[in-house]
Structure 1
Amino acid sequence: MHKGQSEIRMIWLMVLIIVGVGAWFLDVHLLTYLCALALVMSVMHYVDAIQTPTVKIAEEIRFPVQETSKVPLYLAVIVALVGVAMAWTWMVGTGITLWIFFFLRWLRRLEYLFNQIQTHLSQVGFSPDAVIKNQFPQPTFTQNNTSSVGLTDQLNQWIFQGNPVLKVAILVLVMGVVLLLRFATEHWQLSLAFKLILVAVMSGIVTAFGYSLYSKNRSFALALEGLGLATLFLTLFFAYYNAVIPNLWMAALYFIGTMAVTLLLSLKQQSVELALMALMVAYLAPFTLPVRNATAVELLGYYAVINIAVAILNTLRPWKILNQIAFLVTVCVGGGYAFYQGDVSQRNALSLLIVLHTAIFVWLSFRFSQLLAKADVEQFKLKPALDLALIFGAPMIAYIFIYFMYFDEKIWQAGASLVFALVYALLYQASKHHHAVSLISQSYFSLMLIFLVLIPPILLPEQWSVMGWAVEGLLIFTYALYRKSGISRYLAMGLFIVAGLSSIYYWVELSVFPRGMYWSLCVSYFAVILMANSRESFRKQLSNSTLIFHCVQMLSATTMLIVLLLNEIDHSHQFVMSLLIVSGWFLLMNELMLACKATWSWIWPKWMGLIPVLVFALIIVLDQSQQGVIVWSSPFNRIGFAVSGLILALLWLRPALGLRSEKEWMSLGALLSLALSSLTLVPNMPYMSVVILPLMFCAWCYRQKNHSDWAMLWQSRSSLGLMIFWMIGSQILAQQAFQGYFMPVLNPFDLVSIAMWISFIWMLSLQLKSGLDRGIVAVLTVLSLLWLSSYIVLRALHVYLGTPFNELALWRDSTVQLSFTLLWVSLAFMSMSLASRKKLRSVWILGGSILVIVTLKLVLFDLSHVGTLSRVISFLGAGFVMLIIAYIAPMPESENMT
């Protein structure tokens, strides 16, 4: 097991234990039980993950393996759960004890198998350690240049490599300095000026001492210098905000002097580490103050000074990581703080500061391109994404801030866009003469076009601007596909995002529903997806991010289409008519895309778009239901809904490309669609009607011997979950289970229940082939048989003898309990006798499991709740059948096990 996975699993188990114990003391016992169940299943899963490769190795070396059944473990869990449900502490204790016993036995057998394999490998000349090293090679680390590796890699190297004790010591000392300054400010009796001067002198001494050690121990010297400079920055801030330094200009002068020392030391010693330590503390210094919070203008002005220092450093040295950190801190910390603390009265000052920061980062990107011109261009790639952020992110984010600050002043928005376009036009002219930075120059050209195309939609009034964004996005996306321009494609995606967000604003602000705006937005979303999948050359250009964006677009477009159709259609059948139109539209799009040979780039957006359609269909069903019965208001609604459900099922299944890799989605969507359509067949018995079409489809898939791909639909966990949900819910909640009741089994509900159980058993056999645990399959087989057969008997007893049905009183009814005992023993007899004749050891074990449940029932219920004569018959009948089983149906030998 990989070390990281082992740690994650251990953390998961610890979290379950902590949450469970805490919930118990807080009297949230249900959460404790859930945590305990999750802990048990997780432990079994983890041990099984160890056992599976061990058994595989044993089979490869032809070592005899004794398979350990996990059925007793699952039965013990069920016993404990029943005890929890019935509030029987002794039963809970019994289940836990049995589980621990069988679990320890499992571990003992696994340990014995592992030791035997190790002994066998040693005897044949293999070293277990060598095998482990070959199976799990150790990772290798290489030292990369800071200008070529990403920000994450560099931070990992500096934090986790080298001398970690030194790094932790510096961090602790910086925190101690912060606490010392706060304490000195609030408690020391000496004058505050004297205290801060004393700290500043000590910081200068530490910095000088570190510089003197540079030739002897570079890392230790740089750490001391970083500590001293960081303390100077903190002391300077405390002095200014406590009025020791009387005005801002003097504080700025001291700060510039400290920053100049940092720059000189960093450049002279060629140490990006020193600059990084000092600058990070400088960025965080304003948030260590004990007196008051800085204003948004003060913070952004302060960050501007730091970013100027970063620009000076990177003008002389290509330390790209400083650019990245400066950009991230300025946008995330500075921008977030300005958004939270900013005020309308500060708008002009904030605008100037945004322009100043933008100019700094524009210069940094331009200087970056100049440094690249001197480097080996063949080795240059714009990775990671933060490199692109320095070029595209800074102007775009700055413009977004200005756009929202002047949201109702279109002239200012358009003017800012024009200014940015002119700036990047000049940068393009200045950089295009250097062939080594052609990619950068093209980026400047793209930015110029981006800001130009923003102007027309901005000048349009209200909802017309949204329509302009959408249409312009569609045109630019089409242009990007034909010209194979990734930048234009992302520009179009940005325009669509702006259009969507702006539409929400106008939907809230306008007094009437803006139908024209949403129709244009809906049509443009559908059009861009269809355009992107219409040609093979277009589909090759779609990245994963574009595909995800198309999925979100399809989800939004389908939702808008449903709402718009409901708004347009004023008719008593508007719901079903809207569902039919949307389903037909998807069918038309799907056939068109299949004709264009579109694959995954169309399938995923299509599936995402079908989700709101299914939700809408479910809303229609709930609207038509009354007291557990579906009452269709007209034949048109009934037929139209059925046709729509069949169309949706066809859309999920066609094409069948996703059967092998995405069977969960296909199975869930197709079965839900068939179930919804099936509700129209027998609306007065919805729980029976809902499974008719899925059962027919299951029978069709079973008959497709030469088309085994269809069987994969039933190997999915989602189909298994839907089947279990129906078997449990239908028996408990169905209010029309006795309609058409003629006699046991020969009635609609019992026949459907039996058909569902047969399909369920077939599904379990497929699940077993796909890797589902044999123990779970065995437990589900037994429980499903007992559950459905018991309800068939319950319904018969209720009809003929008037016994309780779906009431707690049935557990105290002697007739019901006697019938259960005889039924379960008979099922065990039939399964075990058949298994003995056919030499089916696994089936015999299932029958034996039923006998175990019968025995538990006799002890737990019949001894305490059943009348004298019924109790005698229960025990005599069960014991007699068990005696017959022991005589005519012994357990098959293990060598004949199938």
Structure 2
Amino acid sequence: MTKIGYALVGAITGVLVLSGGRFAFGAVIGLVIALLLAELRELSSRVRRLENKPLPPSKTATGPVPAASAMDDEPSSVGEQVAAVPDAAMQSTEAEPSDAIPAFGRKRTPPEPNPIVEKVKEWFTTGNVPVKVGVIVSFFGVAFLLKYAVDRNLLNVPMWLRLVFAALFGLVLLVIGWRLRHRMRVYALSLQGGGVGIIYITIFAAFRLYGLLPPLPAFLLLALLTIPAVWLAVVQNARAMAVLAVTGGFLAPVLASTGQGSHVALFSYYLLLNVAIVGIAWFKSWRELNLVGFLFTFGIGVAWGYKYYDAPYFSSTEPFLIAHFLLYQAAAVLFALRQPPKLRGLVDGTLVFGTPIVAFGLQSAMLRHTDYGLAYSALLLAVFYGALAWWLTARGKALGLLRDSYIALGVAFATAAIPLALDARWTASAWAMEGAALVWLGARQSRLLARVAGGVLILMAGAAYVNGGWDHNAGVPLVNANVFGGVLLSLAGFFSARQLGRMEHVLERIAAVLLLGWGIAWWCITGGLEIDDRVRHMYEYPVLVSFFVVSGAVLGLVARKLDWTHARYGALVMLPLLFVTALGRSFFGGHPLESYAALPWLAAAAAHLYVLRPITTGTVVSRTWHVAGVLFFAWLVAWELDWWMVVETWSNTAVSLWLAIAGLACWLLRPVFSWPLQVERPAYLVAAAVLLALNLLYIFGFSIDAPGNPLPLPYLPILNPYDVVMFAGLAASWLWIIEAAQQWPSQDRQRRAYIVLGTAAFVLTTLAVVRGVHHLGNVPWRHYSLTRSVEVQAALSIYWGLLGFAGMVLGTQRARRWLWLTGAALMALVVVKLFIIDLGNSGTVARIVSFIGVGALLLVVGYFAPAPPRQPVSEEG
């Protein structure tokens, strides 16, 4: 309907509403509101047409400019037709400069003017301006004349006769508009729209305002008026008139309602109107008509349901809900099919997505007291949309967007049906499978949205599983909802990680790693909980170790078969899981090989090497896991040895010897095991260094803590258990330095290593001397007794003096000044100790022995070991 039609209808409405002596004011208000509504409608229509037009060519167009009517069946006014040519011309003239001028050289585009102001200016300056202004001025003149006559009682006409005259006036406008439809199309449509509006308002005023018509006749008149109005709109290709006619048809029962009617009659009447709308959609792609019907049908339906619906009404309302749902889905499909060739497949999102959302919301309110009603409804909708998408697939690629929309709706309702019918664990299972399928479909069809939706659905499945909790009485072991749900969550994560790992975007590769971790986590959690539920307590530990070993090995095998890089690294998580398992066992006072766990741990060592074999040699991950594996399994053996040895001395001895042997084996067995000892030589040298360093720290710890009573054997200096393992640890560390020095680029690192080892040897041998004095001199093994013992102090002075003497002699013989200085410093320390500590023990044989022995050593040193020169000739020997 054109602006003139809107103006007439608005003004007359204002007159009728404000007829009590203020009809001129009401006419102005109605006129302004109607014109604003008309302008807004035209702006929306214009923006939609501009959005649907193809982009301008890169060069100046040489062909004819397409007419504006190609995008719309009916211009809104003559002004729009006139303005179409300048707009098109402007687009063609601006096309070339946009390519010729660089982006950084263009002038700043001025801000666009207010579209409403421009449209109002255009309305008053283009088109048939005299007709527009004449209608408005004439209307005001007639309004003023009527007001003058009423105020002075010049017109004493009954109200029913006024309404008849108004209806006749509307009918006259319809007739004149029909006769002028070929010569002056826009003008004729304006008159027809105004005539229809006047007749609608007249009938409403006769019923509602003045009570001259009963409800039923008023409703029938309003409804019957819709038929000729729609016929006029379709015959003349007048979209706006069709909207006006349908609006009047939907408002008829509302305007004529007394609150006492039948909802069956109301919905039956609306059903007929919607059938008519779908019939029009078969021939015309009029989106506004579809939207008006959709809004009125479901809007009034929701209002009625909120106020009146009750459970007994279900059988009389459900058929109407289904029928209206199907009609507007048909309208959405017809809208896409009836577009021009370049726009074929255009999707009306309001109908496509709004209809199922509103309809399912109404259905949920109607079925809220049932157990599975909504689940069946969602499942039927999923099947319906799946079938519709399959049908659209055969209609060509142009309808691909509509098909994808229906696929998404089908997936959504299938997803919603699951929690409505099943418990949380089965819901999680179904959602996990559905999410994996979406990820696969998105990867196969290169659809990012599908991949994202699949990943989110998998996460939702995990949340649903957690929300349902773990049922400790789930039934048959391994074949129950607990295991089924957890395994499906895990497999969905693995499968989706495999699909996303093939994508090129870095974020999707990160998502693939996260989903792989998701799969591993759910697999391990499900297996651990099931073992805790089903296995006797004494066998839980070895079964859990076996479960992790088999899982890691299988994942490594799958990674090799599929050449799956992420899974290769994912299999490495087996080692941390085994560590956590063993650590947890140690908290309960157990030991690694209890309950027949020896075989699982041997298998764990083999599986660890198996999953490490495909990892690229020399990488940080490879070296870290080789070192971690050596340390972990060495710790397991040490833990088992400590558990088996009851006596502390022999337990410490066994553990220390094992650490030394394990450290030596990391390179001594290289000829036997070229892989991994030779291939990953740097990693195993690091592992050996850590083991040997830990061994020396361990020896230091138990040497301070206990004297090392070798019962049932007698104590023998140097040959007692603690001294043996001390010398073994020092010797192994010395051999490691010799082996590692082959890879060191300079002598400085080797020298620093010897200094560290020498310091460790000095500390440990000093403790050995103190331990010998304890056993041979019967000095109590207490800090106070040892520090106050004359025998201990004398033994330390002699021992340190001998060490200093040896350092000075060797430094002189080998011309190594640093070694000589080290020996001299030690001799100086002994002298200081003699005068500060030993001198206090006056009158004792130990003090005499200390002074004489150290003095003799100093005399010998002065003869055999003078200080070497400051610049040694060579330090390479």
TM-score (norm 1): 0.43
TM-score (norm 2): 0.43
Larger Rg belongs to: 2
